[in-house]
Amino acid sequence: MSSRVETFTTTAPAKIILFGEHAVVYGKPALAVPVTSVSVTVTVTPDTVTRLEALTTSAHLLPDNLNLDEITDPLLQMIVKTAQFFGEALPACRFSIASTIPVASGLGSGAAVSAALGRATAKALGRTISDPDLNALVYDIERIHHGTPSGVDNTVIVYQKPVFFVRGSPPQPFEVKKPARFLIADTGRTALTRESVGDVRKLYEANQAKIQPILDEIGTIVDLARQALSTGAIITLGHLMWSNHRCLQKLTVSSPELDNLVHAALEADALGAKLSGGGRGGNMIALVTPDKEDAVAEALKRAGAHNIIATTLEAS
């Protein structure tokens, strides 16, 4: 074991996908942004053994259980993989995870925990990990959670910047002419992204001729949304959100709760609204103007939103 660590913390934000979820798995682009008002914090403190404490996990990492084949817990895997990346033994310390990001609701909670743990492990070893290296490690862990993730979640969370993302390519920044304000509303229903992604895969395999045009349409919507953001065409952006939501409905990943919140937001004069992330539950997002923000938030609460987070995509 290496020398005693000093107490420190690392953090990682949540994320929302503005446009392009699901189609991104099939090589189409997506636009995603970090959400910093909720986050994961990992606190590292000196201890007598290497230990991880999270809500669902409390485990010792002993030198003889550092074999990745024997560790099934993704959080422990992240710590061990990061230490192995540097080829160094883990120091004796306690990793404690605290998170304000709702789980299984499309906000990237799993990727954020992995990112904060990876940074914490590197720092405990007296090293810094680059964003591309951390991103690759977090992606490996995402594969345990999701099966075949596109990589959009880990990328936006690790880089902590708005990204135009295409699977397999380095993330690109995108231009934002005017700030855009979003409300993120939680249906209160958790849903597994792995399942909705698996169901879309089944639909695709059963009827590619029907599903491919929907994926293509989402790809076009993402390109138009990128243009709208770069020219400040906020009204167009709102219409594109609704078009994207319609496509996601056709892919069967919306739900009555999500549709209900989307309609409530639009009726209260949100400029646009759509589900965000894997769907079937989790969160939806609404684009609002300052004068309508409170009314839309009220309408969302009345329609059953469990929690509402506001976030601004700042001009670049």
Binding region for ligand PMV (CB under 6 A) out of 144-152, 203-211, 223-231, 286-294: 144-152
Closest approach of ligand PMV to the CB of residue 69, in Å = 25
**Closest to ligand PMV by CB, 193 or 254:** 193
CA-to-CA dists, residue 231 to 43, 271, 295, angstroms: 41, 16, 27
**Closest to ligand PMV by CB, 18 or 79:** 18
Q: Which of residues 158-197 bind ligand PMV (CB under 6 A)?
A: 193, 197
Which residue, chain included where needed, has tokens 């989790």?
A: 282
- Does the annotation count 153 as an active-site position? yes
102 touches ligand PMV by CB under 6 A: no
Selected binder of ligand PMV within 5, 12, 14, 24 (CB under 6 A): 24
Binding region for ligand PMV (CB under 6 A) out of 88-96, 143-151, 243-251, 254-262: 143-151
Q: Within 10 A of 228 (CB to CB), how many other CB atoms are there?
A: 20
Closest approach of ligand PMV to the CB of residue 234, in Å = 24
108 touches ligand PMV by CB under 6 A: yes
150 touches ligand PMV by CB under 6 A: yes
Which residue, among 274, 224, 267, has the nearest Cα to 248 in the 3D structure? Answer: 274
Torsion of CA 128, 129, 131, 134, to 10 degrees: -150
245 touches ligand PMV by CB under 6 A: no
Q: Within 10 A of 209 (CB to CB), how many other CB atoms are there?
A: 6
Phi first, then psi: give them for residue 306, nearest 5 degrees.
-85, -30
Selected binder of ligand PMV within 5, 14, 25, 273 (CB under 6 A): 25
Strands (E), 109-179: 163-165
Closest approach of ligand PMV to the CB of residue 149, in Å = 4
Q: β-pairing, 272-276 with 93-99?
A: unpaired
Catalytic annotation, pick one of 153, 223, 269, 291: 153
Which residue, among 192, 161, 154, 191, has the nearest Cα to 78 in the 3D structure? Answer: 154
Q: Which of residues 26-65 bind ligand PMV (CB under 6 A)?
A: none
**Closest to ligand PMV by CB, 146 or 181:** 146
Closest approach of ligand PMV to the CB of residue 59, in Å = 25
149 touches ligand PMV by CB under 6 A: yes
**Closest to ligand PMV by CB, 24 or 305:** 24
- Contact between 25 and 148 (Cβ < 8 Å): yes
- Contact between 68 and 81 (Cβ < 8 Å): yes
C-alpha–C-alpha distance, residues 316 and 314, integer Å: 6
Is residue 210 exposed (0-12), middle (13-18) or buried (19+ Cβ within 10 Å)? exposed
Active site residues: 153
Residues that bind ligand PMV (CB under 6 A): 17, 21-22, 24-25, 106, 108, 146, 149-150, 152-153, 193, 197, 277-278
